[in-house]
């Protein structure tokens, strides 16, 4: 998966649980770095989910707070620290 391209390098990044996404687009619209996109393939729930573009995340957590789902999205801020 594309969003795993930088996994493990310590850079901040949003981590999506793709099948929990309902495709509302609030995270992508809110991201100040515009580094989240809506995917073209359906997830298991039958919607087109959000995903990380692969670069640009600064770990601000904005996407997390805009997401209505508790477990669809978290932000890793280097060293494995999660979003507030």
Partner 1 sequence: MDTIAQQGMYPEFPRCGKEHARSTHYCAGCGHGIANKLVAGVCAELDLQDRTIFVDPVGCGVFTYYYWDAAHVSAAHGRASAAATGVARARPDAVTIAYQGDGDLGAIGFNNAFQAASRGEKFGCIFINNSLYGMTGGQMAPTTLEGERTTTTPFGRDPALTGHPLHVCEVFDRLQAPVYIARVSVADTRRIMQARAAIRRVFEIQRDGGGYALLEILAPCPTNFGMDPLKAAAFCMGEMEREFPLGVFRDTGKGVRGNGAAAENAQAAPESPFLAVKPVPRAASCAELFAEPPGAEAPPPANDPSVPERRFKFAGFGGQGILSLGICVAEAARMERRHALWFPSYGPEQRGGSASCSVVTSGTAIGSPVVERPDVLVCMNLPSYLRFAGDVKEGGAILLDESARDAPPPPPGVDLITVPAIRMAEELGVPKAANTMMLAALRKYSLTGLDPASLENALAASFRKKPQLAEKNRGLLREAESRLPDRRGGAD
Applying CB under 8 A, the residues found at the interface with partner 1 are: 17, 19-20, 22-26, 29-30, 42, 44-47, 62, 64-71, 74, 80-84
CA gap 82, 23 in Å, rounded: 22
Query: For residues 21 and 53, which CB has a smaller minimum distance to partner 1 in the complex?
Result: 21
* DSSP three-state, residue 50: strand
**38 within 8 A of 48, measured Cβ to Cβ:** yes
Query: For residues 9 and 84, which CB has a smaller minimum distance to partner 1 in the complex?
Result: 84
- Give min distance, CB of 20 to partner 1, in A: 6
- Give min distance, CB of 73 to partner 1, in A: 9
**50 within 8 A of 69, measured Cβ to Cβ:** no
């Amino acid at each position: 998966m594309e969003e795993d391209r930088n996994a493990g390098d310590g850079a901040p990044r949003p981590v999506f649980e793709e099948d929990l996404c309902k495709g509302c687009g609030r995270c992508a619209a809110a991201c100040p770095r515009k580094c989240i996109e809506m995917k073209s393939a359906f997830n298991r729930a039958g919607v087109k989910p959000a995903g990380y573009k692969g670069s640009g995340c600064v770990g601000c957590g904005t996407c997390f707070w805009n997401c209505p789902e508790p477990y669809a999205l978290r932000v890793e801020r280097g060293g494995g620290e999660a979003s507030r």
